[in-house]
Amino acid sequence: MSNYPHPIIAREGWFYLGLAFALAFVVQMLLGLVWSWPLWLITLFVLQFFRDPPRHVPLGDQYILSPADGRIVAVMACTDPYLQRPAIKISVFMNVFNVHSNRAPVAGTVRQIVYQPGRFFNADLDKASTDNERNAIVLENARGQSLTCVQVAGLIARRILCYTKVGAQLTPGQRYGFIRFGSRVDVYVPPESRVIAAIGDKVSATTTILAEWNQT
Report the CATH number at residue 132.
Answer: 2.70.70.10
Closest CA to 177 of 7, 11, 3: 11
Same domain, 76 and 21: no
Residue 12's pLDDT is what? 79
The backbone region for 185, taken as left when phi is positive above 0, alpha when psi lies in -120 to 50, beta otherwise, is: beta
Q: Give the pLDDT confidence score for residue 8 in this predicted structure.
A: 80
192 and 157 fall within a common domain: yes
Give me the pLDDT at residue 208, please: 96
pLDDT at 122: 65
**What's residue 4's pLDDT?**
47
Residues 70, 36 share a domain: no
Could you tell me if 115 and 82 lie in one domain? yes
For residue 121, being part of any structural domain is answered with yes
Number of H helices, E strands in the chain: 3, 14
Q: What DSSP character marks residue 56?
A: B
Q: Within this chain, do residues 117 and 17 fall inside the same structural domain, yes or no?
A: no
Residues 23-51 as b/e (b if ≥16 CB within 10 A, e otherwise) read ebeebbeeeeeeebeebbebbeebeebbe
Task: Say which of 2, 183, 193, 204 is annotated catalytic.
Answer: 183
- The answer to the question of residue 86 being in a domain is yes
Same domain, 108 and 150: yes
Phi and psi (nearest 5°) for 49?
Answer: -65, -40
What φ, ψ does residue 30 adopt, rounded to 5°? -90, -40
Residue 1 lies in a domain: no
161: in domain: yes
- Residue 114 forms part of a structural domain: yes
What pLDDT, on the 0 to 100 scale, is given for residue 21? 93
Residue 113 lies in a domain: yes
Tell me, yes or no, whether 196 and 96 share the same domain: yes
Q: CA 182 to CA 77: how far, in whole Å?
A: 25
User: What is the block-wise mean pLDDT of the chain (216 residues), using blocks of 10 residues?
Assistant: 59 86 94 91 88 87 95 95 96 89 95 87 71 91 95 76 94 90 88 95 96 86
Same domain, 114 and 24: no
- Range(s) of the domain holding residue 20: 11-49
Same-domain pairing of 86 and 170: yes
User: Residues 96, 43: one domain?
Assistant: no
Structural domain count of the chain: 2
Do both 107 and 17 map to the same domain? no
- Residue 144 forms part of a structural domain: yes
The confidence score (pLDDT) of residue 54 equals: 84
Nearest to 182 by CA among 149, 204, 158: 158
| Catalytic residue list contains 183 | yes
Full-model pTM: 0.85
Residues 102 and 192 in one domain: yes
Domain contains 76: yes
Phi and psi torsions of 24, nearest 5°: -65, -40
